[in-house]
Structure 1
Amino acid sequence: MKFPDGNEILFSLKCYIGAITALYLSYSIGLSRPFWAMTTAYVVAQPWAGAVRSKAVFRLGGTFFGSAVVVYLVPRLANQPVLMVLAMSLWIGVCLYISVLDRTPRSYLFMLAGYTAAMIGFPSVTSPMTVFDTALARVEEISLGIVCATLAHSLIFPRGIAGPLMARLDATMRDARNWVHDILTNRETVSRGKERRVLAEDLSQLRMLATHVPFDTGNIRWTSSAVRAMQDQIAALTPLVSAVDDRLHALQKDGRSLPETVETILRDIAAWIDAGPKAERTQAHTLREALTELAPEINPAADWHGVLMVSLVNRLRELVDGYDRCLALRHDIRDGLAGTPRQSGRPARLRFGAVMHRDHGLALWSALAAGLAVSICCVFWIQTSWTNGSTAVMMAAIFSSFFAAQDNPLPGIMQFLTYTVYSIPISALYLLGILPAVHSFEMLVLTMAPVSLVLGVLIARPAYTLKAMALLFGFLGTLALHDTNTADLVSFIDTMTAQIIGVTTAAITAAIFRTMSADHSARRIQAANWKELAALAGASQVPSRSDYASRMLDRIGMLQPRLSLAKRADDHLADDALKDLRVGNDIAELQRARRIFPAIDATVRPVLKGLADFFRQRATQQRKPSDFPNLLENIDRALARATASPGTLVARERAVVALVGIRRALFPEAPDYQSGILLPVHAS
């Protein structure tokens, strides 16, 4: 293990200063469990000041709401244990359900509201008339820990998130440029899967970092809209690059070569993108003009090669536009970092709420698992009249909540359980040996320093964060659960047994009800894509492309980390997800095209109906496009109508590009489209 560096030592010192300050204030006020304040100060600690502040705000809110519910429920239901268990389990489950659905930083508030109720409510059922005093004391202790930790990390050499975020943002742009370059100039040797996964991992890490930008102490907080818009814009480049790759592959099928004019424009686009931050935005206008001149005419004689070329030119134009917007947003971020944020127009950012993917099934199973774990511990507690049964229930609620958003929470719970057991000797040494001999706060500060400072350094190292937090939580949590002046060996063993039983119960219920492989989770996300595609194709109104794109991009962001954990190297799920995104955009374009281009409406309606039927059945019965032969016929019929009917160039191009994209995504191995054949219309 390497020696700690300056940042790790500083982080550990700030954590300890915040924690020991909270402990001092708790003792000064005369709170009954001052180590809750110290524990909380470490729970909210993060490497960056903005992350501490964001976590602090939501923890305060969650603590308040959880305490308020307990103050209302416990006096009314203390004499009705069955109703009490049901009410508390329901509250914890509902809070966890909302937390898993929310998938934003504020989800922490709902999770806290749930298990804070367990922390305060269950230990108070034996003396319900004192529940308000207990809740008030817990709120004061936790609030002290939050405030002291926030002040320590915000005032003592605050570490901003700008450095790591901008490094990750620039690395993401670099990987995107490398992928585009390989597609445009090195098409025979490009490793499509590797390039895509690297970019996907970059985007996932970037999204996690960006959530804390609005709370940061530096100028980067003025750029939060531009940062979010840029990461969405980079994500939007993914299906465009995939579409360009697909069209180039189709045009070069059977050893055919591209025209020299196409090769030239591909090299020009690659060179412009390769320039990175030094790329001139004026070059984008030149490239657009060249692409416009390159586009072939759409007419009744257009063959498959011609409509493929129309589609390629259109997607290349969108690629140039998308990268140009990335450059503009990067300039906005640069100005914001300099303290002069710009309010120029930029793409709509990913909004929270309806436009994000929500897995109600996963949220429901998480809520049920948490409620069941709490109920099992409560039944055991009631049947045995165990004096420390409330501690087991509390631990079951906490650990059922901590890892609920993960596909498989069991490894995280088990790791916490393992290191909680490892913390027992340290807890016993301090609780039974050292603390009874300490008679001044100064000595307490010195005696607590070795364990706290060492674990604080380890928390700052990503490879050890979870393990160190488990040790520290086990150590400080045990002190928080005891009156350190009267603790003895019997009460210590009883408390540790309760903690282990509670965590074990959470692990067992998670293993039975909440374990989900990365493959299965990825396929659930893909099934959600198919259901939405079916709804999009069957929509009677013109769908909102921005809402659909935001949801699909969000799902791709969720899908990619799971694909990196997939066990099968030959899994084509990532390719399917990109195809789904492309098809969805094409369906939305087709819906618009048939309204501004009425001449094609009669032939497009069977295509949309066939797509709705296909994706609806695919989501439930795993059907393949080859099971719907009429769909290909209807696509070709609509394509023939679009190339032969009079209309504006924009409308005809939109329809042709959408139909070509759908045909290539669903029937890549089908014979080439034949022009000029207008067969009778048949519904799929």
Structure 2
Amino acid sequence: MTGSDFSGSVPLGRRLVVETLREEASVWLFVAKTLLAIFVTGWIAMRLALPSPSTAMITTIIVANRQSGMVLAKSFYRALGTVAGAGAAIGIVAAFPQQRDLFLVALSLWLGVCAGGATLYRNFKAYAFVLAGYTAAVIVVPVIENPPGVFDSAVARLSEVLLGILVSGAISDVVFPSRVRDVLRRSARGQFSDFLGFVRGSMEGAIPRDAMENAHLRFVRAAVTLEDLRSSVIFEDAETRARSNHLRLFNQRFMAASTSFQSLHHLINRLKRARRDRAADALVHLYAPLGEALEVPLEAGEGARVLLPRLLVARERMREDAVEVRAGFADEQDLRDFETGASLLLRFAGELYDYVDAASTLQAPRIVGGPVERVRFDRGNDYLGAGIATARTTLTMLVLGAFWIESAWPLGSSAMLIATIFAGLFAVTPNPTRVTRDVTYGYLIGMVLGFLCHFFVLTQLDGYGLMVAGVLPFLVVGVMLQASQRWGGIGLGWALGLLYILAFKNHQVYDPAHFINDAIAQIVGLMSAVVSFIVIPSAIGSPWLRRRQLAALRGQVALAAEAPLPGLRHRFESVNHDLFSQVVAQTEPGSADSRALIAWALAVHETGRALIELRHDMARGELPPTLRPYLEGVLATLARFYVKPDPASYLLARDAVATAIAGVCEHEGHRHLLEHLRLVRMALLDGESVLAAYMPDTPPAKEIAHAS
């Protein structure tokens, strides 16, 4: 019985109650494990007489996550960043031990570079950069007046941070662990069943454009989510780590198959709109064996193994049917349309088989066979956006450092440290405006509660156990809010503000004047980070960056036309999916911007993939000297059009494709190139695509139209 069958047999009300209780249990388990990690870390730090146990305790807050694998991944990269930051701190102090001005300039530049580097990643790798900057500041700022003490400071901070990481990872992995591998498996099964179900349900051929756009959005999110999960699960599960490259291959084959699938149905839709029903119906008929082969329960694993021989039989039937149908065409135009679609359909059938084969291999009890094809999931990064984050953080630190020097403020170091932490954390958030506001509110609440806890509760208690009992009521709400998607920013700020202002040590000092001055310094540091994002807004989510990312997405056609062929198909698919997911995450669903983005993404996927296949076919055999210039002209004009679209470059690209088609038709041994050229030609002439805005009012000349 499949999961859907089971869920359908349970009353809706009961399912809602079960899901609500499961969610509440997950939240409270997260709260309990996080609090346990905080206080166990604090106890060990005090037993070891570390200088700042609160630093170790704060570490557990920053790495906290509901999933064990996420904690381990976050901790791993935090450890890397901590070690790198310690090395940078020692280097800065060694270079400028007596020059405070140059010392602060070097530190500000390091913090800026780390903040910029953090923006280039969408997973826990960003924390390595954030912590590299934060750790350097934590180490060097307290010893600015005593440079020889930097080594002791580095050892202490490393010990405190690594202790927090070790305790968090151990508790998360031992106490009722919630495995990311289970989420990964569900995601892989969901991707598999959703895609194959969509393929099976499209046997009638034509799919409305809005349905295809929504499907494309789902497929992109599924591919990017699976890669993000894979990069985290490898830290918690040895078996998943061994299958990591198989997972990458599974995901890459999914992206390839989904692109060909979309191109196929765009082609069928175009034929129907052009009233070329004979060719469209023939393609739908040819598609039928593939749909019939998928008429089994769509669960990765046993279902995948069952599908493989069925898909082989379906492909053979499709080849045989294609020969028979081709012989029945009397009209040359219908024949050309059918040949283009049949070639694309057979390519899709092969890619679908490869995808199902990858799913079957993943679900086998153990991996057998030789080395698997090594693939990568490349990311689409905007380095100018990272440069903005670098400049913002550097300027913020320089301004604070200059104020600290000129004012001789005793607690300027505290302001610098807080600004460092939040400048890095805010730089990697997808919605920095809302997050900065929420974290600021939470931090202020945490400090107010910290004052009450410090002077009205802890002064009445003695011993670590009573201290835990006194702090727990003030901390538990913040940790609970941290588990919420909506209130997570407030919860994070609450917990950090409370623990930071309490500044636990083996010998607590109760000095109201120092406490208030420290709180003021922390507020100044926090507000400096907030103001820096107002003065120099984050590029993430801005219309400016969306336009740049959309331009980068269009530029993928130039990549497909010009980049070296080895590994190009995988690189093209993964960068496309990553860029699209970045832009769509910052675009209002259903808006004009969102619709334009999806339309461009579909056009880029279809054209770019056709050009890659064309170049592969060009590379497989010798081309006549008279034919190569035509094909190279197609690649060059299409690349220019997508990089900078306008009506003039559209006409050049359209006519270059038509001329190349006419040239290929004159060479009998190279007619296999026609399918790719005709597919590109149809995409260029699609009046419902995003390219329609660049089409002239008059249709192409009759002789060119017939060349397609």
Scaled by the length of structure 2, the TM-score of the pair is 0.85
1:33-60 alpha-carbon deviations (Å, 9 max, x no partner): 1111111122212222222222222212
1:558–1:601 distance in 2 versus 1, CA, 3 Å:
farther
Give the C-alpha shift of residue 440 in structure 1: 0.7
Change (3 A) 1:273 1:498: farther
- Please tell me whether residue 605 in structure 1 is matched to residue 625 in structure 2: no
Match of 1:667 in 2: 685
The code of the aligned residue for 1:130 comes to G
- Give, in whole Å, the separation in 2 of the partners of 1:588 and 1:415: 46
After superposition, residues 456-471 of structure 1 pair within 5 angstroms as 456-471=479-494
Q: Find the partner of 1:639 among 654, 658, 661.
A: 661
Q: Which residue of 1 aligns with 2:285?
A: 264
Alignment partner, residue 320 of structure 1: 349
Task: Out of 445-454 and 383-392, give the one that drifted further.
Answer: 445-454
Counterpart CA distance in 1 for 2:550 and 2:369 is 37
Contact 2:46 2:506 in 1 (8 A): no
Q: After the TM superposition, which residues 203-352 of structure 1 pair with which residues of structure 2 at under 5 Å, given as runs?
A: 203-217=223-237, 219-258=239-278, 261-273=282-294, 275=296, 276-277=298-299, 278=303, 280-295=307-322, 303-335=332-364, 338=365, 340-343=366-369, 348-351=374-377
1:132 equivalenced with 2:144 (yes/no) = no
Shift of 1:263: 2.8
Asked if structure 1 preserves the Cα contact closer than 8 Å seen for 2:640 and 2:649, the reply is no
Partner of 1:73: 92
Equivalent residue of 1:216, what SS? coil
* Separation in structure 2 between the aligned mates of residue 580 and residue 448 of structure 1, nearest angstrom: 56
1:162 paired residue number: 181
Amino acid at match of 1:504: M
Deviation larger for 3-12 or 415-424: 3-12
Aligned-partner Cα distance in 2 for 1:672–1:312: 24
Pairwise CA distance, 1:635: 1.2
Contact persistence 1:407–1:521 (CA under 8 A): no
In the alignment, what sits opposite 1:580? 604
SS in 2 for 1:252: helix
Q: How many Å separate the matches in 1 of 2:702 and 2:675?
A: 14
**In structure 2, the residue corresponding to 1:423 is in which secondary structure?**
helix
1:57 to 76, 81, 85: 76
Shift of 1:258: 4.4
- Percentage identity across paired residues of the two chains: 21
Gaps of 5+ in 2: 1-16, 688-698
Secondary structure of the corresponding residue to residue 457 of structure 2? helix
In the alignment, the residues of structure 1 paired with residue 207 and residue 707 of structure 2 have an alpha-carbon distance, to the nearest angstrom, of 37
- In structure 2, relative to structure 1, the CA distance for the partners of 1:153 and 1:218 (3 Å cut) is farther
Which of the numbers 585, 592, 604 marks the counterpart of 2:616?
A: 592
Q: AA paired with 1:527?
A: A
> In 2, distance between residues paired with 1:416 and 1:110?
20
**1:565, distance to aligned residue in structure 2 (A):** 5.0
Aligned to 2:691: none
Output the TM-score relative to the length of structure 1.
0.88
Letter of the aligned partner of 2:38 in structure 1? Answer: A
Q: Distance in 2 between matches of 1:304 and 1:93?
A: 61
* Residues 109-508 of structure 1: pairs in structure 2 closer than 5 A: 109-181=128-200, 183-185=202-204, 187=206, 189=208, 191-217=211-237, 219-258=239-278, 261-273=282-294, 275=296, 276-277=298-299, 278=303, 280-295=307-322, 303-335=332-364, 338=365, 340-343=366-369, 348-351=374-377, 355-406=378-429, 408-480=431-503, 485-508=508-531
Task: Write the distance in 2 (CA, Å) between the matches of 1:282 and 1:123.
Answer: 68
Amino acid at match of 1:264: H
Q: Which amino acid aligns with 2:606?
A: R
Cα drift, residue 535 of structure 1: 5.2
Looking at structure 2, the residues matched to 326 and 194 of structure 1 have their Cα atoms a distance apart, in angstroms, of: 21
CA distance in 2, matches of 1:125, 1:566: 53
Task: Look up the match of 1:555.
Answer: 579
CA contact under 8 A between 1:303 and 1:673: conserved in structure 2? no
Partners of 1:563 and 1:574 within 8 A in 2: no
Question: CA offsets per residue over residues 310-337 of structure 1, 9 Å max, x none?
Answer: 22222222322233233222223323xx
- 1:265–1:291: 8 Å Cα contact kept in structure 2? yes
Q: Closer, same or farther in 2 for the Cα pair 1:250/1:676, shift >3 Å?
A: closer
After superposition, give the CA deviation of every residue in 1:437-462 in whole Å (9 maximum; x if it has no partner): 32211212222333444444443343
**1:538 and 1:609 in contact (8 A); partners too:** no
The separation in 2 between residues aligned to 1:437 and 1:281, in whole angstroms, is 71
Most deviating of 377-386 and 400-409? 400-409
Deviations 1:362-408 (A, max 9, x none): 11111111111111211222222211112222222222211323455
Distance 1:610 1:218, change over 3 A: closer
SS of the equivalent of 1:486 reads coil
The aligned amino acid for 2:601 is: A
Whether 1:656 and 2:679 are equivalent positions in the alignment is no
When residues 583 and 605 of structure 1 are mapped into structure 2, their CA distance, relative to the original with a 3 A threshold, is farther
Q: Residue 146 and residue 422 in structure 1: after superposition, are their counterparts in 2 closer, same or farther (change >3 A)? A: same
Q: Which amino acid aligns with 1:268?
A: P
- Distance (whole Å) between structure 2 residues aligned to residue 626 and residue 195 of structure 1: 32
CA 1:409–1:293 in 2, change beyond 3 Å: closer, same or farther?
Answer: same
Partner Cα separation in structure 2 for residue 203 and residue 541 of structure 1: 22
Between the aligned partners of 1:171 and 1:545, the Cα distance in structure 2 is 24
Residue range with higher mean Cα deviation, 445-454 or 498-507: 445-454
Question: What SS does structure 2 have at the residue aligned with 1:436?
Answer: helix
Structure 2 SS opposite 1:439: coil
Tell whether the 8 Å contact from 2:116 to 2:387 is kept in structure 1 after alignment.
Answer: yes
Partners of 2:585 and 2:676 in 1: CA distance: 29
Distance in 2 (alpha carbons) for counterparts of 1:482 and 1:500:
22
User: For residues 678 and 233 of structure 1, do their structure 2 counterparts lie closer, same or farther at Cα, with a shift above 3 Å needed?
Assistant: closer
Structure 1 residues 342 and 99: alpha-carbon distance in aligned structure 2, compared to 1, 3 A threshold:
farther
Deviation at 1:243, TM superposition (A): 0.4
- SS of the residue 1:629 aligns to: helix
Q: Secondary structure at the match of 2:234?
A: helix
Q: Does the CA contact (< 8 Å) of 1:21 and 1:148 recur in 2?
A: yes
Q: Tell me by how many angstroms 1:27 deviates.
A: 0.9
Moved more, 399-408 or 253-262: 253-262
Aligned to 2:338, what secondary structure does the other structure show?
helix
Does structure 2 retain, via aligned residues, the 8 Å contact 1:640–1:678?
Answer: yes
Q: 1:294 to 1:93 in 2, by over 3 A?
A: farther
SS in 1 for 2:508: coil
Task: Classify 1:16/1:672 alpha carbon distance in 2 versus 1 (closer, same or farther; 3 Å).
Answer: farther
Q: 2:92 and 2:154 mapped to 1: Cα distance? A: 12
The CA deviation at 1:184 is: 3.8
Q: Conserved in 2, the CA contact under 8 Å of 1:197 and 1:564?
A: no
Task: Tell whether the 8 Å contact from 1:395 to 1:499 is kept in structure 2 after alignment.
Answer: yes
